[in-house]
Structure 1
Amino acid sequence: MQFLSDNAAPVHPKVWEAMQAADNPDTPYDTDALSREMDARFSALFGRECAALWVATGTAANCLALATMVEPHGGVICHREAHIEMDECGAPGFYLHGAKLLLAAGEGAKLTPADIDAVLAGITRGVHQVPAHAISITQASEYGLPYRPEELAAIGAMAKEHNLGLHMDGARFANAVAALGGPAVEVAGPVDALSFGFVKNGGMGAEAVILFDTEKAELVRWRRKRAGHLQSKGRYLAAQILAMLDDEIWLQNARAANDAAKIIADEAGDRLVHPQQINELFVRMTAGERAALRDQGFAFYDWDETCVRLVTHWASRHEDSEKLGKAIAAL
C-alpha cells in the first residue's frame, strides 16, 4: 500500500487508448493534427486565447516558461521550498543561462505580496545585484495549499506594478482546481505562463506549457528544440494531453485523488501539519511510529525529522486509505 507519490500512479486507460489511436502515420514534430489542436482546446478551457506546447517533463515545462520572462542576468523570486529550487537539480539556471533564483519565505510554501516585497527591498545596488525579472508560484504549494483567487490577484497586481513576469508551476494544478471548485481560469489567476501537470494525474509522459502571452510561443518552440525536448513523434504527447481534457478526465482524476487523501486526513486529526486540501498530507510522526506503519505495509517518504508526506493519486484505493487512516489513529 504505497503513498509515496502521485508520480507512481498508473496511466489512465483513456490515455493508452488515445496513444493507440494516434499510432498512425502523421507529420513529425509538432505539425501533426493533434499537436495543432492543443491551442484551441486550452483556449476553450481557460476562456481566453493561449498557446499550448507539449514537453515530456514538469522541469522542462517550468524552465521553458520562465525562459520567456528572465534574462541571464536576472532572477526569479520563488519560495525557498519551491520545486524549482529544491527538486530540479539547478535546471532553471541551466535553461535560463545562469539566471538566479531569489528565495523568499512564506507560510505553507506560499508567497504573499509582503514576502515578495521583502526580496525586492534587498535589491538596491543597480548593476551590482541581480534584478528580479519574474515571480514563480506553485499551485498548489509544496505543502498542498492552493492559492485562492484573491491571493493570486494580489500577487498579480504586485507583478504588474514591478514589471515582473508571473509563472505558475501547476504540477498539481488539477488538484487545486478540484479543491477550490472554481473554473480553471480563476485557479490560474493573472499568470503569464503556466506549467499544466498531467503526469501526476494519469498521464504517461506529457506536460503542457501554457502561454497566455501567445507571442512568446515561438520563443518557446526554439528553446524547446535547443533543450532537446522537441520530440519527433509529438503526436503521442499531444494525444495524452487531449485525452485527459476529454470529458474532464483531468478534473475527475484530481477529485478522486483528493477524496482518497481526505479519508486519511479525517483519521489523522491534529497530527496534520496543514489542513488537507489536495492529495498531499503532511503528518507529524516519530521515528518509531513511522517504522510501525512501514511494518504494516505502508510506503511513504520522510519529509523531515518531525513529519512524513503521504500522497494519494487518481487510482488510490479507498480501502488502502481507510487502512492507513485507522493505522495512524491507532498509533
Structure 2
Amino acid sequence: MIEAVGEHEIVVTGESRHAVLGDVLVRERQAGLSGVGEAAQQDREEGGGALPPEQSHQRRRVRCAGVLTGGAKLVTVPGDDSKIDPNALREAVRRKAGDVHSVQPSVVSISQVTERGSVYTLDEIRRLATIAKDAGLRVHMDGARFANALDHLAVTPAEMTWKSGIDVPSFGATKNGAMTAEAIVSFDPALASELAFRAKRAGQLASKMRFHAVQFDAYLTDGLWLRNARQANTMAARLGDGLKAIPGTELLSGPQANILFCRLPQQATEGLLAEGYTFYHDRWAPGIVRLVTSFSHTPEDIDQFLDAARRHTR
C-alpha cells in the first residue's frame, strides 16, 4: 500500500523505504518522459540515450520527446508485445559504448502496462534491471496504468518497483479515475533535486497545480486506486470472454489489464462506430481494433457492447 506522507514523500507501508514524490504533472506522457529525463541524469549530465521498446508511445506518439526528456535521445529496443527483449537490450547497452560519435545510453525505460496491454512479470523486470545496472544504467518505469499492472500481478508496489530494480517510476492516476494527475517518484533523493526544473521545462507547472495534486488524497484513501483498477481489469476480462464467442472475431491476446486488441469484421466496426462507440481502429492493421475498459464500466455496459457487436456480425 502507498500512503501520502507530508507534502513531498511517500512510503511503502510495511516495507521500509522512503521515496521522494516529485511535482505532480498534468499529462501522463509528460510525466513519463520527464521521468525518463530524470533517470537519464549521469556524470555526462544532459543528452544521454534512453532505451524504450520499439512500440513505446514515447517514440510513436510524442513529437517533442527530446525536449521533455531534457535532451535524452530515444534509441528503441525490439521485443514482442511492446516489451523489451533481454537479449536485444544486452546488445543495445554494449553497442558503440565509449564511442564519442554515438549516443551513450543512460536509462532503460519500460511501460507497465505496455502499449499492447501486456504486463511485465517481476522476473522480467528484474532481468532487464540487472542488464541495465550491470551496464551502469538506471531503470525508469512508465506507470500510466501502474495500478492495473499491480492488480494483475497481485504484488505490492515495492515488489514491482524498487525491489525489482526500478529507480524512477511514474505513478499514474489519470487513466484510473483522476482528472489529469500524474506523479513522478524517485527512490534516489539526489535525482529528485532537479525534478521541479524538469516539470517547468515540460510546461507542467500549472498555476493551480494544487487542485490537480489534491486528487491523490482521495485516490490513495481506503484503496480506491486499487479498486478502480480491479474493476477495469475485471471488465476487460468479461469483454474478452464475450468477444471470443462472437463468430468472425479474433482476440489477439488475452487481456492482462484493461486493454485488449482484437480483429473485428468490418461491418461490426462500422456498426459499432455508427452507434456511438469510440475506439481506435485500423491504426495497426486493417480490421484490428483496440478496446479499453475503465473503472466506471459495469457488467451491463460490457454486455450491451457485446450485444451490439453480435448484431453487426450477422
Q: TM-score range by the shorter chain?
A: 0.7 to 0.9
| Alignment check: 8 A CA contact 1:46 1:184 kept | no
Name the Cα RMSD after superposition: 2.2
Q: Distance in 2 between matches of 1:297 and 1:63?
A: 33
| Alignment check: 8 A CA contact 1:112 1:151 kept | no
For 1:69, the equivalent position in structure 2 comes to: 39
Aligned pairs, how many? 296
For 1:16, the equivalent position in structure 2 comes to: none
Q: Deviations over 1:63-112 (max 9, x none)?
A: 22122232443211111111111122232x01234321111111110113
| Alignment check: 8 A CA contact 1:110 1:137 kept | yes
For 2:218, the equivalent position in structure 1 comes to: 243
Residue 222 of structure 1 deviates from its aligned partner by 2.5
Residue 157 of structure 1 deviates from its aligned partner by 0.7
Residue pairs, 1:145-184, within 5 angstroms = 145-184=118-157
Q: Distance in 1 between matches of 2:175 and 2:290?
A: 16
Q: Single out whichever of 174-183 and 228-237 deviates more from structure 2.
A: 228-237
The structure 2 residue matched to 1:271, chosen from 250, 273, 298, is 250
Give the unaligned 5+ runs of structure 2. none
Which structure shows the bigger proportion of residues in helix conformation? 1
Q: Single out whichever of 142-151 and 284-293 deviates more from structure 2.
A: 284-293
The structure 1 residue matched to 2:18, chosen from 49, 59, 78, is 49
Q: Distance in 1 between matches of 2:228 and 2:100?
A: 48
The structure 1 residue matched to 2:237, chosen from 259, 262, 276, is 262
Residue 56 of structure 1 deviates from its aligned partner by 1.2
Q: Secondary structure at the match of 2:158?
A: helix
Residue 224 of structure 1 deviates from its aligned partner by 2.1
**AA at the equivalent of 1:307:** I
| Alignment check: 8 A CA contact 2:67 2:202 kept | no
Residue pairs, 1:277-296, within 5 angstroms = 277-296=256-275
Q: Distance in 2 between matches of 1:297 and 1:233?
A: 34
TM-score relative to the length of structure 2: 0.87
Aligned in 2, Cα 1:307/1:47: closer, same or farther, shift over 3 Å?
farther
The structure 1 residue matched to 2:29, chosen from 48, 52, 59, is 59
For 2:60, the equivalent position in structure 1 comes to: 86
For 1:315, the equivalent position in structure 2 comes to: 296
| Alignment check: 8 A CA contact 2:251 2:263 kept | yes
Q: Secondary structure at the match of 1:104?
A: coil
| Alignment check: 8 A CA contact 1:147 1:187 kept | no
Q: Deviations over 1:127-178 (max 9, x none)?
A: 1111111100000111111111111111111111001110000000110011
| Alignment check: 8 A CA contact 2:77 2:85 kept | no
Q: Secondary structure at the match of 2:75?
A: strand
Residue 317 of structure 1 deviates from its aligned partner by 2.6
Q: Does 1:299 align with 2:269?
A: no
Q: Distance in 1 between matches of 2:160 and 2:239?
A: 25
Give the unaligned 5+ runs of structure 1. 1-33
Q: Distance in 2 between matches of 1:45 and 1:66?
A: 28
Q: Distance in 1 between matches of 2:16 and 2:148?
A: 19
Q: Distance in 1 between matches of 2:16 and 2:124?
A: 20
Residue 180 of structure 1 deviates from its aligned partner by 1.1
For 1:108, the equivalent position in structure 2 comes to: 81
**AA at the equivalent of 2:48:** G
Residue 225 of structure 1 deviates from its aligned partner by 3.0
Aligned in 2, Cα 1:150/1:64: closer, same or farther, shift over 3 Å?
same
The structure 2 residue matched to 1:228, chosen from 203, 207, 212, is 203
Greater length-normalized contact order (CA 8 Å, ≥ 6 residues apart): 1
**AA at the equivalent of 1:290:** T
State, as a whole percentage, how many aligned pairs show the same letter. 32
Aligned in 2, Cα 1:218/1:328: closer, same or farther, shift over 3 Å?
same
Aligned in 2, Cα 1:157/1:148: closer, same or farther, shift over 3 Å?
same
Aligned in 2, Cα 1:46/1:319: closer, same or farther, shift over 3 Å?
farther
Residue 218 of structure 1 deviates from its aligned partner by 1.3
**AA at the equivalent of 1:88:** V
For 2:108, the equivalent position in structure 1 comes to: 135
Q: Single out whichever of 119-128 and 203-212 deviates more from structure 2.
A: 119-128
Q: Does 1:120 align with 2:93?
A: yes
For 1:194, the equivalent position in structure 2 comes to: 169
